[in-house]
Copies of this chain bind each other. A is one copy, B any other.
Amino acid sequence: MAKNSDISASVIKRLPRYYSYLEDLIEENAERISSKELAARMKTTASQIRQDLNCFGGFGQQGYGYNIKALHNVIGSILGVDKEYQTIMIGAGNLGKAVTSQISFEKKGCRLTAIFDIDPDIIGQTVAGIKVLSIDELEKFCKENLPSIAVLCLPKDNTFSVAKKLIDLGVKSFWNFSHFDLNLHFDNIIVENVHLGDSLLMLTYKTQQ
């Protein structure tokens, strides 16, 4: 069994997919699944699934397959959803609201506790049960609650300065929805840039083929 840090990026990228399909299977009350069956659902190969899962140890049983709940738990724990990362969102425009209500932060180990905005019309609104605070309260809030993840849903121009401020306040990881790549030159700061538009371009590409 390899150490986690030896796992290739290609494998890691597939883990959330497995996780999601296993969640569906749990909802369907299925108990077990074979690599063959899962591969058919996911449109991949059984070989790849077995190879991937084996990076983390043998969870399956010959002649039986994989126990869905157990495998779901293991992958979840590899991905870190059993943690409790304090999470904040910056920006409560359309995008911030959509992300807040669409994503199950709780299920992913993220406790979304505050949303900040600069627009007086938006401050005070409630999104998915969370009140939108003024950006002026950001510093105080961070000092008291020490969030480690920040979701950035604000205009391009402000993103960089807000991110820098948040790093000073102890934020370690950024989920960036501004449509440019946030490139912070700090060690140990983790950024995931979301490229929403890219997949539409993939669609137009495939559509014309």
Contacts and interface: CB of A to CB of B under 8 A. Distances in A.
B102 A196 contact: yes
What is the interface of chain A mostly: helix, strand, loop, or mixed? helix
Q: How many copies does the complex hold?
A: 2
A180 B25 CA distance: 12
A15 to B, nearest CB: 7
B110 A80 contact: no
A15 B175 contact: no
B85 A207 contact: yes
A207 B102 contact: no
A15 B4 CA distance: 30
B108 A200 contact: yes
A47 interface: no
Nearest to A208: B80
A95 to B, nearest CB: 4
A130 interface: no
Interface in A156-209: 172-173, 175, 179-181, 183, 190, 192, 194-209
Contact of A202 (B24, B192, B203, B209): B192
Contacts of A43: 183
A180 B102 contact: no
Nearest to A193: B199
B205 A104 contact: no
A200 B204 contact: no
A199 B192 contact: yes
A114 to B, nearest CB: 17
Interface of A: 4-5, 12-13, 15-17, 19-20, 24, 42-43, 78-81, 83, 85, 93-95, 97-105, 108-110, 148-149, 172-173, 175, 179-181, 183, 190, 192, 194-209
Given A17-B195, A83-B207, A173-B207, 13 more contacts: A5-B209, A16-B202, A20-B198, A24-B180, A80-B208, A83-B208, A94-B100, A97-B98, A104-B197, A148-B207, A173-B206, A175-B199, A190-B203
